[in-house]
Amino acid sequence: MRKCLIIWIHLILILTITISQGQSREKPLSIFGYFQNSFFHETGYTHWIESQSAYNSFNLQQLNLFLQKDISSGWRAFVDFQFLNTFSSARRWGSFNIEEAWIRYRLNEKFTLKLGLQIPIFNHLNEIKNRTPLLPYVVRPLVYETSFSEFIAVDEYTPTSAFVQAYGFILLKNIKLDYAAYVGNSPNISWQDPNRQFESQQTGIDTTDTILLGGRVGIRIGEFKAGLSSTIDYVNFFEGARDFIDAPPSRFSEIPRIRFGGDLSYHIWKLSLWAELIKLTYDDDIPNVSINKFFYYATMAYRIGDDALVYINYMKTEEDITELTVSGEGDPTSFQLIQLLTGRQNVHVPSCGFSYTLFDRLAFKAQFAPVKLKGNVETLDLEFDINFNYYALAISVFF
């Protein structure tokens, strides 16, 4: 018995040493990330619709914490945690999201497969929008500025998540043909409503049998890069309007939503050009309802030496407005009138900026933008024209 025990102890020791040696040969877990702190000042404005006093603030604009581990040859695991707007759950500031959690198989440089929660390829910026130290902007092109997601529909303009994606390129002499294709959930995701007493489904899952399909095709020739992107999914955003609009119920469910995007970038000498457009359409076929959107931006940058860059930028959004308003809401003694408001809103933002990279991991930025918000409410025969200036400074760090 004693002899058997000694043999077992030896076997356990040998096994432990073998496992520890095997683990020591594994590549360690990499922990790194980006963050950007900013200060901005916004001038006030007065308009007959509304007014806003000037204000300024410091802000932890965005922080991304990454975990990365090469599991074996060709396989890599990756997790991305994102914090926005000086996040504090106790103070109800900002937001926290698990942006990505995927495993990647790379057959070679021409073919890669990703499985799990991920930010899909769409135009040039979507996949790299969180790399703040590598981008010259304090405020990124509007639909990519995640810190503005509380008042800009960034989730509508670009696909924010997919779960299966294949991408790579095909080499034809000196031309690279890029490709990407992905699958994800529709936007009809279950969430927890505190006003509901019972939850019939778990949160965070797609409540329909539809999916997101998307992809990008592009071309690269030297320093020139261009591509076309597109997605299609089906939304139930319009179901709340079925009681107020005379149309068959089938028209309000699983409405096709199509995104179309184009991107262009070119580098020559010390000059760089980046430009994108995004067109968002809902094939709703519902009377008096339209929430289509359009966005584009263009940036011309000039590099001063190896460390400094100046740029001019112009970006614009064009959005249809369709809203249901309730008069007398909250007052049980008043008569409540439900009214459908329609119109259009455009946001024009020219800007200029400067970025200085002190080290490879540290960048200082400045940006100025005169903002113009113009539109109309057709239902009430009203027009609005709001103007203000936006000044911003930022420091971006790669740690």
217-229 per-position pLDDT tens digit: 999 999 999 999 9
pLDDT mean over 90-108: 96
What does R_g of the chain's alpha carbons equal in angstroms? 25
Whole-number Å distance between alpha carbons of 19 and 9? 15
Does residue 24 carry a pLDDT above 50? no
Left if phi > 0, otherwise alpha if psi is -120 to 50, otherwise beta: which for 100? beta
Please report where in the chains the tokens 């779960």 appear, as a residue.
163
Does residue 100 carry a pLDDT above 90? yes
Query: How far is residue 257 from each of residues 22, 339, 363, measured CA to CA in Å?
Result: 50, 25, 38
Q: What is the pLDDT of residue 272?
A: 97
Give the pair of three-digit tokens for residue 278.
């995004």
For the domain made up of 121-190+203-398, give the CATH fold.
Answer: Porin (2.40.160)
What is the band of 252 on the pLDDT scale with cuts at 50, 70, 90? confident
Collect all residues with Cβ–Cβ distance below 8 Å to 13 and sequence separation of at least 6: none
Task: Parse the chain into domains and list their residue ranges.
Answer: 121-190+203-398
Q: What is the pLDDT of residue 328?
A: 52
Does residue 16 carry a pLDDT above 80? no
What is the band of 41 on the pLDDT scale with cuts at 50, 70, 90? very high
Cα pseudo-dihedral 233, 141, 265, 367, rounded to 10: -170
Q: What percent of the chain has pLDDT over 90?
A: 67
State whether residue 131 is helix, strand or coil.
coil
What is the pTM (predicted TM-score) of this model?
0.88
151-170 per-position pLDDT tens digit: 888 999 999 999 999 999 99
281-311 per-position pLDDT tens digit: 998 777 667 789 999 999 999 999 889 999 9
Closest CA to 344 of 316, 314, 287, 383: 383
Q: What is the pLDDT of residue 193?
A: 60
315-353 per-position pLDDT tens digit: 999 999 877 666 555 555 444 546 677 889 999 999 999
Minimum mean pLDDT among 7-21, 25-39, 357-371: which range?
A: 7-21
